[in-house]
Structure 1
Amino acid sequence: MTEARIPVFSTIERDRRWNLARDFMAREGLDALLVFGEHEDAGPAPVAYDTWFTNGRAGTTVVFPRTGEPVSLLPGPMFVMDHLESRRRGDTPWIPPHHLRGTRHSGTVIETLDELSLAEAVIGVIGLGSHMPWHPEGIIPYGVWNNVLSRFPDAVFEPVDLPFGQLVMRLGEEEIAVLRHSARIGDAMVEAMVATAAPGIPESRVYAAGMAAGYSHGSLPPAMHLWSGPDVVAAGPPAWGQRAQAPRVLEDGDVIYAEVFSSFGGRHAQNQVTIAVGDVHEDFHRAADVCRASYDAGLKALRPGHTFGELVDAMHEPIDAADGWPFLIAVHSLNPGLSVGKGRGLFSRIPGTEGYPRVSDHPTFLPSMELAPGMSFAFEPNYAFGRHLAHLGGTVVVGEDAPIELNSYSAQLLHAAGAGQPR
């Protein structure tokens, strides 16, 4: 990865976002927004709309009145210290100290709504609605919300997660520059993994190489998903991160599957990775061809004015035409993770799944959402012949006239380039 000028967010970007929020409140008839952010260590696809308002650490609660400036409720003293030190170093925080509050429990939420004269207001809430796939019924704790509702019986609280999420999906110029940088870091992570992988190398070393590249380029990437084997059908964090066991040692004929997440400036990029270690079964190459055809079909369909459902259907045409089976979804949105492609429950047909809960088909989430320039998506088509599975893809942005590929490097079957060594 060649070093480029590090993009930053200016106060012009802050004003653009805050004006969008005010216009949104005016259109929706809202007096304020109440925004609950998920913990900063939430991993990939965090519910972090709070950072959109604050340009700060995730895990705060934001109250934004239609008239006036937002107030940020912090989880604890560490956030106060971070804010102070950043100012000492010359940063310009978007939320000044007098608009910070030291806790974000229900008592502080209540005090802030009272302070802003919102006891009888119409308040749009972000955190009550569905955030697929991890939070289909929202993120707000019952205790907090029950206390707020009890204190404000005359206020109207309306979930606005979906309409507001679609509003902020259309990234501004500064946001796209930050996303480009995040995607470059993602590619550097994958390149480091390819350069390390070889027979005789523990998969943990491949994992470490990728994460180290992310850190060294100034990102704090969420923990990647990684599995390896000659015929593995699995996704998620590696088994040795969950259970007490040694990392698997790579062998000739293995493949490595990884979802690599890069996060820079609150903008998330994703690489979908398949690395062939030595000579792999021909079916992996066949599966990768199906994935690539799906990826290319997605590029053709990713145009302003098309719907997300049309994009999903286009990516599934090559998948449905082949005689193997898809593993997971082919596409979902990024920044935020809001819309999710359709899934087919064919996993439950492979040998060995007897006795397990059945994986059901599920429809596309938000199929009627219209694509617009600046929206970002993770293209992640996957396909298998038997137990020989391939994933590939990366981050793609809707352009004015053509799609903008940010991770074309991982949109192909990659080949391990490490030297290898005995176990």
Structure 2
Amino acid sequence: MVSPVHASELPQFSFEERQRRWQRVRHAMAREGMDLLLAPTHTGHWGQLQADVRYLTQLAPNMYEVFAVFPLEGEVVAITRMDSHTEWLRNAYEWVGDVRGLGRRTWSALVIERMHELGVTEQCTQRVGVVGLAQWQPRSPEGIIRYDTMARLKEAFPRIDWVNATGLMNHARAVKSPEEIACLERAGQIADKGVEAMIEHARPGMPAQTLWAHMQAAMLLAGGEYPSMINWDMRPDLSAFARHPTYRLLEKDDFSINEIEGKFNGYNHHTLHPAYLGQAPENYHRAYDAAYEAFEAAQAVARPGNTTANMAQAVEVVFQRHGLQGQFMMLGRGLGEDGPHQTMPTPDGEKPTKLEEGHVFAIRPVTGDVGASGRRFRMWLGDTCVVTPTGARRLSQHKMELAEIPC
């Protein structure tokens, strides 16, 4: 049965955008001597570990499993889990015409079949890149492709030179096009709604899980895609958030640090918005002012030709001037953990990244102080920005502040 879903019903990237991406990746493959690239399915980390599949095909919405076979020359093939889903994926997204279902077979069986169609034989010594064959980003320290899938591929093609293509794809995704930035701005509008809902609904006596639900609902009603990340908690002198909302009842003088992500068409806008239930103490304001000044300092130097090290140095100067201990963090944002990163360990030793116009990342300075409980709180703020010739521009509109919620 043909799916009634039509491409006009869903957000789409243009064929010009497909051409730009495919050329960018194929140029990188040619530089590395790769004849073929495999992007395996993996729906972890809110679907972000499947970012490369989505970048190449537009497929894999709502954490749906898709495996992409991307040759240096020839037709791109997407493999999906169920035969019955192939037609609706072809109708819903226009980039890839050859979508194949697993049926009762395995991922490796269909990949091997496609490689045979491309002329790869048991005796071939080509170089094949595999996204997630090994670590490049800190979220997946041992890669993401299944052991049994990789074992069967190696058995079928014992002379192939299998290489890790995670870094290649991460660099390809890092510089965003105008179409991608437009999606991130829309995701920023969705994140704005999550922030607004937190401030509007937080009240003493409310279960923390209920407030989290208000935030999720606001983002979905604004056109957001599910699932999206909200790492969030609210309690006295908070220094770390829960990975899942608790049923604790909120109280006056609770403090929230958080990571709130709006998602649109797979693109994630990451924001951190501290909030205090009641009137925040003076040292909270002092910590916030220092962190916000550090954020603006990082923005100012985030220009093409400068590096992530320049941004970190600008932040360090601010914290030293305020007499506070602080740290600079940044995470590349887009479909997933796009580069560049700072302060998160990677195999390249965190070498400074030279910034380019179109790089998108969340700037996240953090400091803190000792609260009334005797525990140290963390003042952590941030937002997703794009590198421009004049510095980093925010991609959301909510007011950055230490929100003090009347109660």
TM-score by length of 2: 0.86
Query: Partner of 2:116: helix, strand, or coil?
Result: helix
Long gaps (5+) in structure 2: 1-9, 371-375
Select between 227-236 and 182-191 the one with higher mean Cα deviation.
227-236
Which of the residues 234, 238, 243 maps onto 1:237?
243
Q: Is residue 53 of structure 1 aligned with residue 56 of structure 2?
A: yes
Question: How far is the alpha carbon of 1:199 from its aligned partner?
Answer: 2.4
Per-residue CA distance 1:132-156 (angstroms, 9 max, x = gap): 3321221112111122112211211
The alignment partner of 2:273 has SS state of strand
**Residue of structure 1 in register with 2:173 after alignment:** 168
State the distance in 1 between where 2:113 and 2:324 align.
58
- The one-character-per-residue Cα deviations of 1:232-285 (angstroms, maximum 9, x if unpaired) are 221242352xxxxxx122222111222101111121111112111112222211
**Unpaired segments ≥5 residues, structure 1:** 1-5, 241-246, 344-360
| 1:166 Cα offset (Å) | 1.1
Aligned pair 1:123/2:116, yes or no?
no
Q: 1:51 to 1:154 in 2, by over 3 A?
A: same
Contact 2:229 2:259 in 1 (8 A): no
Label 1:78 to 1:283 Cα distance change in 2 as closer, same or farther (>3 A). Answer: farther
- Measured in 2, the distance between the counterparts of 1:216 and 1:149 equals 46
Q: Residue type matched to 1:35 in 2?
A: A
Q: 1:231 Cα deviation (Å)?
A: 1.2
Structure 1 pair 290–37 and aligned structure 2 pair: CA distance change class (3 A): farther
- CA shift, 1:370, in A, is 1.5
Structure 1 residue ranges, 4+ long, deviating more than 6 angstroms after superposition: 361-364
The aligned residue for residue 3 of structure 1 is none
CA distance in 1, matches of 2:47, 2:386: 18
1:305 aligns with 2:305: yes
In the TM superposition, what is the alpha-carbon distance from 1:382 to its structure 2 partner? 1.6
Q: Which amino acid aligns with 1:115?
A: E
> In the superposition, relative to structure 1, how do residues 300 and 231 fare at CA in structure 2: closer, same or farther (>3 Å)?
same
Query: Against the structure 1 CA distance between its residues 7 and 50, is the aligned structure 2 distance closer, same or farther, given a 3 Å change threshold?
Result: closer
SS at match of 2:351: coil
Taking structure 1 as reference, are residues 239 and 173 closer, same or farther at Cα in structure 2, changes over 3 Å only? closer
Deviation at 1:322, TM superposition (A): 4.5
Partner of 2:191: 186
CA contact (8 A) 1:201 1:250 kept: yes
Partner of 1:411: 400
State the Cα distance separating 1:72 from its structure 2 match: 0.9
Contact 1:74–1:104 (8 Å) recurs in 2: no
Q: What displacement does 1:409 show?
A: 2.6
One-letter code of the match for 2:14? S
- Which piece of structure 1 moves more, 198-207 or 280-289? 198-207
Task: Give distance in 2, aligned partners of 1:150 and 1:309.
Answer: 44
Q: Does 1:214 align with 2:219?
A: yes
Q: Distance in 2 between matches of 1:123 and 1:310?
A: 36
- Cα distance change, pair 166–146 in 1 and its aligned pair in 2 (3 A): same
What is the aligned residue count? 382
- What residue in structure 1 maps to residue 68 of structure 2? 62
Q: Report how far residue 123 of structure 1 moved.
A: 1.3
Query: What per-residue deviation string (whole Å, max 9, x for no partner) do you get for residues 145-196 of structure 1?
Result: 1221122112111212113311221111111111110111101111111111
* Separation in structure 1 between the aligned mates of residue 129 and residue 40 of structure 2, nearest angstrom: 11
The Cα offsets for residues 293-340 of structure 1, whole Å up to 9 and x where unpaired, read as 2101110121111122322332333235544444x7521111241443
User: What corresponds to 1:377 in structure 2?
Assistant: 361
Aligned to 1:398: 387
* Aligned alpha-carbon RMSD (Å): 2.5
Percent pairwise identity: 26
Measured in 2, the distance between the counterparts of 1:410 and 1:296 equals 14
Q: Which deviates more, 375-384 or 102-111? A: 102-111
Is this contact kept in 1: 2:185–2:396, CA < 8 A?
A: no
Residue 118 of structure 1: how far off its partner (Å): 2.6
Q: Secondary structure at the match of 2:272?
A: strand
Structure 1 match to 2:5: none
2:286 corresponding residue in structure 1:
286
Aligned residue number for residue 329 of structure 2: 330
User: Where does residue 134 of structure 1 map in the other structure?
Assistant: 139
Aligned residue identity for 2:109: G
Counterpart of 1:201 in structure 2 is 206
